[in-house]
Amino acid sequence: MALSRVCWARAALWGSAVAPGPFVTRRLQLGRSGPAWRAPRSSKLHLSPKADVKNLISYVVTKTRAINGSYHRFLGRHFPRFYALYTTFMKGIQMLWADGKKARRIKADMWKQNLKFHQLSYREMEHLRQFRRDITKCLFVGLISIPPFANYLVFLLMYLFPRQLLVKHFWTPKQQIDFLDVYHGLRRRSHSEVITHLRRASTFVSHEKLRRQLTDLCTKVQSGTHPAAQDVLALRDCFSTYPLGFSQLQASQMRALSQAMLLTPYLPPPLLRQRLKSHITVIHQLDRALAKLGIGQLTAQEVKSACYLRGLNSTHIADDRCRAWLGEWLHISCSLKEPELSLLLHNVVLLSTNYLETRR
């Protein structure tokens, strides 16, 4: 009994003397109750992975823009000529890419709505026409870049011959004016030849009145007089049959007309005839769409581009004169039917040869 009491007294004494502290108590409680007693996590740990990715992307984009801006300032300060070429090239790629996206959207709408090319609006038709020409030129440059190490040579050729190898998106503003002047000079070389072929063909016109009117028209153009729209329309019957219908044009005539339209004249006669007819048919469809829209709805740049396509060097002509000339063209074009489109083709020369041009 005495021994048991002593043991109980000693146990009580030790229990009161060695009381567990708060650290030990918390360790015991955590061990028993589990995660319910853990401290709350930081708020950063509760962000979703998508938010973390967005923040990372935003940071990378901001830093990339800052580095790109510093790089541009460095080039502009130390290499100004190279920087001008670099910015023109980058803007050209962006504009060409935007044109491609717009052309794709137009083609998708045509497929969904089952529309033909001539059923589109004027601006959509013009955009598709121009984009096809641009992408054809770009594809040619891409093909000659395929052989190994040929891309280095192509870059050099593009720098040396930008007019021949690049589209207008990659031209500087000064180059656009200069190159359009060069192209117009090339097509003006064929004007006298086209008029000469018309005078020769007038001798084969069976109707005496039409033969005399065609001869008078050629004389006016050769003497420097700008013909009136009614003088041109009076000859529509000459251009639907022999000797000036599409099927009766000679090879030399078609080569001269191809040069006047800035098309390749070095093709076999059947291909020349088909290409000329296709080209002038597209212009005729554009004219009908433009007549519905109205010349007044076009911007100054759109008017100049429309005039240049139809044979007039509009880069140095005032806007009101360009609109007046385009009105004359539309009056003639919308009065013609499909069998008479040979007259519209010759009208590229007849209506633009002697029109007032303000030279620099």
Secondary structure of 230-250 as H, E, C letters: HHHHCCHHHHCCCCCCHHHCC
pLDDT tens, residue by residue, 221-244: 999 999 999 999 999 999 988 889
Across 291-299, average pLDDT: 95
Q: Which of 170-174, 290-294, 356-360 has the lowest mean pLDDT?
A: 356-360
As a whole number, the mean pLDDT across the chain is: 84
Residues 310, 333: contact at Cβ < 8 Å? no
Across 85-110, average pLDDT: 92
On the question of pLDDT at 33 being above 50, the answer is: no
Confidence of residue 30 (pLDDT cuts 50, 70, 90): very low
Give the Cβ contact number of residue 190 at 10 Å.
20
pLDDT of residue 48: 60
Across 23-45, average pLDDT: 44
pLDDT of residue 42: 47
Across 332-358, average pLDDT: 89
Q: How far apart are CA 217 and CA 215, in angstroms?
A: 5
Higher-confidence residue: 145 or 259? Answer: 259
Angle between helical axes of 300-309 and 122-144 (0-180°, round to 10): 60
pLDDT of residue 23: 40
On the question of pLDDT at 64 being above 60, the answer is: yes
For the chain, what percent of residues have pLDDT higher than 70? 85
Tokens of 323: 């609109």
Q: Alpha-carbon torsion 176, 182, 183, 184, what sign?
A: positive
Higher-confidence residue: 85 or 206? Answer: 206
